[in-house]
Structure 1
Amino acid sequence: MPAIGVLALQGDVREHVATLTGLGVEAFGVRRSSELDRCDGLVIPGGESTTIAKLARIFELLEPLRERIGAGMPTFGTCAGMILLADRIVDGTAGQETIGGLDITVRRNAFGRQVDSFEEDLDVRGLPEPVHAFFIRAPWVEQVGDSVEVLASAAGHPVAVRQEHLLATSFHPEVGGDARVHGVFVDMVAGR
């Protein structure tokens, strides 16, 4: 059984842990380097990307995260997690840091503010039925590198992408009770 950590600095930590546990995975929060060392895979949850990056630096996790992800640890970023995995950001705050590794340019809050949040059924490549996706102050992908596979789009922009050991969604698959996107990630971790 793979051990999958959820970066537990801010955001939808409990929801991701519950979803992964429901899939039979050992899931736990990660706040320290020693907890990161236990991970076969990692989820970076939604929340506020600048806050998560600042806390990762304060908790001395930013460089260990970059090292583990750069070395091939399967990682799944949702919403703010997608922003944190992106190599490039549009509309970021001054000096905003990312963990990087995913060859995409992402636009923060692309779908609008909190009041512009919405739900939509998305066709996700590899899944037989649409996923009911929840977009909350969500980013979208403006550009993808050559090695990035687009798995789903909304409003004409990629909202789910995969590159080798990295998976990212603009939406929140931990909301709504559909664990299939997490299942794709668990399969990625188990296949490493």
Structure 2
Amino acid sequence: MICSEGSPTNRIGVLDLQGGVCEHLDHLERLGITGIRVKEPIDFEGIAGLILPGGESTCLSRLMRMFDLERALLDAFQRGMKIWGTCAGAILLATGVLGEKPHLGLIDMDIERNSFGSQLDSFSIEASIPEVSPDPIPLTFIRAPKIFRVGSTVRVLLKFQDYIAAAENDQVLVTVFHPELTPCLAFHRYFALKCGISPSENRVAKAGHLWNSTSWTRLAPHA
């Protein structure tokens, strides 16, 4: 991704309409990456990638249209911007959503919202994802969707018995879980590399120790 001045950018945007925005900004900051709150079309200028956070996919989709962000997002995508959708963000990116009309349709897959049940059915586990990290990665599922099918252009990163939990194509990454709710920076580092940004490995090794469950609150608008 090249900014308007023609030089490489190390900035990654986070869609700042609803959902887990500050948690993603916190992880980017600990990697030494400039995180940008994306609230209006001009905010797409000069970012290498965009994170669509967890939240409520229907709400996010309506707000994107309300604030004229959908067209700006698609234009930036056509220019080469990478996109990562977590949970609700993954639903927004799918070409097929069970029981409803798809939204952005930027990765060939079928997904079902709230596929595990209610909030009480949320859970945390660890899994091995060699493409992302040599070490097991903690995964947090909160009213998570399930991916049931992917097309031939999509690579599966993590699959369980009856569903896919993480996948990607050349420009889009999707995870049905929430990497921003754990101290692990592996997925944020992986997405940064996908965007052409190389975080300091020394910083990656140390940054997880600086995290706790309220680290992100310093980035909240009221702080």
User: TM-score category by the smaller chain?
Assistant: over 0.9
In 1: Cα distance, 2:164 partner to 2:77 partner: 22
Q: 2:135 aligns with which of 129, 133, 137?
A: 129
Which segments of structure 1 move beyond 3 Å, counting only runs of 4 or more?
A: none
Partner of 1:10: helix, strand, or coil? coil
Q: Give the alignment partner of residue 103 of structure 2, picking from 81, 92, 98.
A: 98
What is residue 57 of structure 1 aligned with on the other side?
A: 65
Number of the residue aligned with 2:113: 108
Length, aligned pairs only: 189
Q: 1:31 is matched by which residue type in structure 2?
A: K
Question: Counterparts of 1:113 and 1:178 in 2: how far apart (Å)?
Answer: 25
Per-residue CA deviations over 1:35-72 (Å, capped at 9, x if unaligned) read 01231110000000000000000000011112222443
Does the CA-based 8 Å contact 1:122-1:154 persist in structure 2? no
CA RMSD, Structure 1 to Structure 2 (Å): 1.6
The AA in structure 1 aligned to 2:11 is A
User: Which amino acid counterpart does residue 134 of structure 2 have in structure 1?
Assistant: P
Quote how far apart the aligned CAs of 1:157 are: 0.9
Q: What are the within-5 Å matches in structure 2 for residues 1-192 of structure 1?
A: 2-92=10-100, 96-126=101-131, 127-190=133-196
d(CA) in 2 for partners of 1:56 and 1:177?
29
Of the two, which has the highest radius of gyration? Answer: 2
The one-letter code sitting in structure 1 at the alignment partner of 2:136 is P
Deviations 1:158-181 (A, max 9, x none): 110010011110000001110101
- When normalised by structure 1's length, the TM-score is 0.93
Contact 1:5 1:39 in 2 (8 A): yes
Larger strand fraction of residues: 1
Identity of aligned pairs, percent? 37
Q: In 2, are the aligned partners of 1:53 and 1:97 still within 8 Å (CA)? A: no
